[in-house]
Structure 1
Amino acid sequence: MKEATIEIEKTATILKLLGDKTRLTMVKMLDSNDCCVCEFVEVFKASQPAISQHLRKLKDAGIVKETRRGQWIIYSLNKDSDHYSLVENILQYLPNQDYRIKELEEQGLRISCE
């Protein structure tokens, strides 16, 4: 079963990243919705640099990927990552976060950067 295993070091890094409540919530949100930085800024009431730092760490670990849409960068889960099955297994135990996206929509702030 070699192909299904990942190194302990890499697993520890991913678990450490997901051990942060904000990053874990972001990843759960990305499980069902692609988002841009401005949406996370609104949801977490955090500064854009702070949100970007979280996303950079997740991207560097291969957990999320980014797609450019015009001048905006949209983040999504990296389902092609070697570690996606680990992340997916963790996410299945977490409550759905779609209500956060719904709140953004109701406030007219969903993809407010477009």
Structure 2
Amino acid sequence: MLKTAIEMDKATGILKLLGDKTRLTMMKILDQHDCCVCEFVEIFKASQPSISQHLRKLRDLGLVQEERRGQWIFYSINKTNAYYPFIEQILTQLPSQDERLKELEEQGTRITCC
């Protein structure tokens, strides 16, 4: 087995997790930008508990990491995760999601919690 190969069970689990459009979009955004829950609530027009649940699933697999800044928690993609090279190949095939953050900035709702 090649050193860079990923186990079929792990690949299946990651692909299943990323099969959700919201989580896949979150991962694409987090690949370039740190975000807090409130920003994702605005981007996806979803409830805070729903967004937190998506982030928990990504965090439980070690795909995202969190960093406390004051009373707020910011999420970023975990590029040190052993499976990041596998995920990175998927993310590079996806269109940029920067316009979603630009819309938040234009509305004045980017990082409203800070």
TM (normalized to structure 1)?
0.97
Aligned partner of 1:51 in structure 2 is: 51
Residue 102 of structure 2 corresponds to residue 87 of structure 1? no
Residue 107 of structure 2 corresponds to residue 113 of structure 1? no
Aligned partner of 2:68 in structure 1 is: 68
Shift of 1:104: 0.4
Shift of 1:51: 0.2
Separation in structure 2 between the aligned mates of residue 81 and residue 2 of structure 1, nearest angstrom: 18
Aligned partner of 1:2 in structure 2 is: 2
Question: Amino acid of the residue matched to residue 113 of structure 1?
Answer: C
Separation in structure 1 between the aligned mates of residue 112 and residue 14 of structure 2, nearest angstrom: 30
Question: Amino acid of the residue matched to residue 88 of structure 1?
Answer: E
Shift of 1:32: 1.0
Percent identity among equivalent residues? Answer: 67
Give 4+ residue runs of structure 1 displaced > 2 Å after superposition: none
C-alpha RMSD over aligned residues: 0.9
Aligned partner of 1:104 in structure 2 is: 104
Separation in structure 2 between the aligned mates of residue 2 and residue 74 of structure 1, nearest angstrom: 35
- Listed as ranges, the gaps of 5+ residues in structure 2 are none
SS of the residue 1:3 aligns to: coil
